[in-house]
Every structure is written in C-alpha cells, then in structure tokens.
Chain A
Amino acid sequence: MAEEVVLLDFWPSPFGMRSRIALAEKGIKYEYKEEDLRNKSALLLQMNPVHKKIPVLIHNGKPVCESLIQVQYIDEVWHDKAPLLPSDPYQKATARFWADYVDKKIYDLGSRVWKTKGEEQATAKKEFIESLKLIEKEIGDKPYFGGESLGYVDVAFIPFYSWFYAYEKCGNFSIEAECPKLIAWAKRCMQKESVAKSLPDQQKVYDFILQMKKHFGIE
C-alpha cells in the first residue's frame, strides 16, 4: 500500500523539527505543509481539534499529535532502519525520562530567557544554564545521548540548538562558555544530513524572535 505521510508544521518550531529529523533518519518521503499560526488551516483544526497546534503527523489520513509521541510512532512503524529508542526497557525508560526533562525545562526556561528582562531574565538564565549543565552530564563519553548513533534524546533536544543564538543574544551570555561539551555534541549532530536539513539557520530564528518581541511589546 502506498504510504501517505504529511507533516503540518511551522518552520521555527523545535517540536516540528523533532519529527522532521525522525522522518529523515528513516528516509521517509513526506509532504511538508507550512502553517500560518495566525490563520490555522481547516486541516490542522480538523486533525488536532483538542490543541489546534503543530506539529501534526498525518499517516494515511490518521493524525498523530505531540512531537515526542510522533517520534516514538515513527520509530515503531518504520522500525527496520535507524532505531531511535533503545531496545532495552531500562535504557528506554532513561531516554524517555530525559526527553521529558527537555520538555519540562528547556523550552519553558529558554522562553523566559528571551521573553523577560532585568531580574526575571537573570533568574531564567541561571536556571536555564543549570538545566543545560544537567543534561550535558548525561552525554558522558558517548558521541550522542543515544550512544554511537543518534537516538531519541538527541532528536528531542537538538532542535533547541537552532534557538541557542537567539537565547544568547537576548540574554547576553555564551552557552558554549558554560557548556562546551554540549556545543560539541550539537555540532556533531549538525554534521548529520537529517539534522542539518531539519533545523533552520540560527540567524533566521533570531530575526523571528526579534519580531515576536516587537509583537509582544518586549524590549
């Protein structure tokens, strides 16, 4: 049966990037549909009526919502190539824990870094760096979180690298100075075609953030 895969997405979304990477790792052909979030398509509202958010993966007409669930789904359906989750249940649990940590901490703390200023921003920066350092420890001596090859946590986390320049400019700090091992890991990931083609240019993301700041009236 011909597989029909569609991804409803928005170019700067780190969550959308996760699914892009997973699909590319597996070599799956799909149709990418860019959504205008101020004017959501009827398809998006139909496929994700509960949250009305991107990304939405549509496989043979059936929607899968939530980026980490999409990555796991892609890994299970196209299981014969580039496995992302480990097969050992304990290692799988560890991978899920850290992907959950990225969701709970990185996105929110990073958002606070670019959305706030003064003391609030200083606190956000401190907590953000602490979180990055915690994750950085998990890499250990391995090339990737997943070990010798890109895994679930790598896919969950690397999209945020495309936002690092924006965080650094807004917060006036250097992530590389604080977490050199993390940046080395990120650059290693970026050498993979699946990652390089799925992440937007960091300058472009920064320009987008500046526009958002203007829109929200944040100086």
Chain B
Amino acid sequence: MAVVTLFGSWFSPYAYRVIWALKLKGIPYEYILEDLPNKSPLLLQYNPIHKKVPVLVHDGKPICESSVILQYIDEIWPQNPLLPADPYDRAVALFWIKFADDKGYLMLKFYQTDGEEQQEAVKEWLEMLEVMEEHALIGGKKFFGGDEINMVDLAFSFVAHWLGIVEDVVGLEIFEPHKFPRVNSWIQNFKSIPIIKENLPDADKMSAFLKPGREKILASKSN
C-alpha cells in the first residue's frame, strides 16, 4: 500500500493547504510536525534546496512547494477534483493560485515592519483585496471554485485566517468587511466548511506565539 507522509508546521498556511487537499480527497497520511527552528534531518534530506515545509513524501519520493504538491495530489487522486478539467478554466485557476502565492509575503512584511515600510505593506494588502473583490470573485460565486471549494480557495486561505491573526498581533485593522463584501462573504463561507473549520491553527495560540517576536523586532528597531 502506498504510504503518504506530510511534513508541516503547526501554523504554516502552506502546510494546511496540503492537509485540506488530502482530507478533501480522503487520503490517509502520516503527519510529521516540524519544529521550524530545529528542522529534522529527514526534512533537510527531502527538501535540500529550500529546506521548508510542506513536503509530501509518496512512496518514498519527495515533492516540495505547496502548489506543486497540490497539483500532484490532484493528478494521483482524481476524486473531488481541485482544478477545473477544461484547459482554459484551469489556466485561469492557476493564474489566481500564482497571484495568491505571490502575495504570501505580506503576512511577514506586515508583521516584521513598522512606519513607512509597514504602510507600504498595508497599501499592497489593500490592493490585493481590491483585485480579489473586483476581478477574482465576480459572477456571484460562493467560492473561487464555484459551488465547491477548489485549489484557488485553498491558496487564498491566508486571507481568510492568517491575515486576521497578524492584524491582531500588530494591533491594526486593515480588512474592513463592508469595503470588501465579496471577499467577506467568501471568508465566512470558506471558514464554515467542516474540513477547513476543523483544521485551522488556533488564532489565540498563534497570536500569543507571535506577539513576543513582534515586540522584539520593534525594540531592536528603536535601538
């Protein structure tokens, strides 16, 4: 029987994408929780180039980079497809996945900066929300995938959960629901799906974990 192992960390949104994909397809897997400041030799062996989570190991063969992993999973286990079958629709979905992937840096940028640099992060964040609102969620869709979630919804998950936590840690509210009604609707819908709801890192735990780090960064800047 094929063995599936997933290396992840308790708060990485990229690891959670893979968890959700495996659960949506009903694939059993062994989960290895990595302590990122102390990466295991096995992780470094399976991902020598980027040394990051998530890494999926299937039949002893490693696959790295969450978008690559998700496409692999979708091809090996076609039930509950995560990408459209039509090549054009698939190209559009992959466009939005790349868009979301390219915006992931905002979480760290907002968390690690203050002053002008942080204002820049806020501007970029709002621009991203505007694009989602005006271009990605048009047509009255419940999810990016239509009536069901797909890989695009999983890719934007950091907007639904992680950005709110960073807002709390930094003490600034950026996302105003009334300004982005479609995005807000999508967030509520996305987080009510049982597989998503039951598999999210605890917001309070994450805040408590991230706050000291934020204080240290600000202290070192004022020195």
Check: B42 CB closer than 8 A to any chain A CB: no
Check: A176 CB closer than 8 A to any chain B CB: no
**Residue of A whose beta carbon sits closest to that of B68:** A96
Check: A90 CB closer than 8 A to any chain B CB: yes
Interface residue from B61, B68, B72, B131 paired with A100 (Cβ < 8 Å) = B68
Check: B219 CB closer than 8 A to any chain A CB: no
- List residues of chain B with CB within 8 A of the CB of A70: 91
**Chain A interface category by residue count:** 20 to 34
* A97/B135 contact (C-beta < 8 A), A64-B88, A73-B91 known: no
Q: Is the CB of B49 within 8 A of A65?
A: no
Q: Is the CB of A76 within 8 A of B64?
A: no
Check: A49 CB closer than 8 A to any chain B CB: yes
Q: Is the CB of A50 within 8 A of B99?
A: yes
B31 to chain A, nearest CB (A): 20
* A97/B91 contact (C-beta < 8 A), A50-B131, A90-B61, A92-B75 known: no
Per-residue CB contact flags for chain A residues 31-74 toward chain B (1 = under 8 Å, else 0) read 00000000000000000011000000001001011100110110
Q: Is the CB of B98 within 8 A of A97?
A: no
A130 to chain B, nearest CB (A): 11
Complex: A190 Cα to B93 Cα, angstroms? 33
Complex: A96 Cα to B90 Cα, angstroms? 16
- List residues of chain B with CB within 8 A of the CB of A90: 58, 61, 63, 72
Q: Which applies to chain B's interface (DSSP): helix, strand, loop or mixed?
A: helix
B134 to chain A, nearest CB (A): 9
Check: B22 CB closer than 8 A to any chain A CB: no
Q: Is the CB of B87 within 8 A of A100?
A: no
> Count the B residues whose beta carbon is within 8 Å of the partner chain — how many?
24
B105 to chain A, nearest CB (A): 12
Interface residue from A49, A50, A73, A93 paired with B87 (Cβ < 8 Å) = A73
Complex: A205 Cα to B90 Cα, angstroms? 34
- List residues of chain B with CB within 8 A of the CB of A49: 135
Check: A89 CB closer than 8 A to any chain B CB: yes
Check: B1 CB closer than 8 A to any chain A CB: no
**Residue of B whose beta carbon sits closest to that of A70:** B91
**Residue of A whose beta carbon sits closest to that of B86:** A76
Complex: A65 Cα to B72 Cα, angstroms? 22
- List residues of chain B with CB within 8 A of the CB of A65: 95
Interface residue from A50, A73, A93, A96 paired with B135 (Cβ < 8 Å) = A50
B152 to chain A, nearest CB (A): 13
Complex: A92 Cα to B64 Cα, angstroms? 12
Check: B43 CB closer than 8 A to any chain A CB: no
With contacts A73-B90, A97-B68 known, what are 14 further pairs, Cβ within 8 A?
A: A50-B99, A50-B131, A50-B135, A69-B91, A69-B94, A69-B95, A70-B91, A72-B91, A76-B87, A90-B72, A92-B75, A96-B65, A100-B67, A134-B49
Interface residues of B (CB under 8 A from A): 49, 58, 61, 63-65, 67-69, 71-72, 75-76, 87-88, 90-92, 94-95, 98-99, 131, 135
List 9 tightest A-B contacts by C-beta distance, closest first. Answer: A76-B87, A93-B72, A89-B75, A73-B91, A96-B68, A64-B91, A69-B94, A93-B63, A97-B68
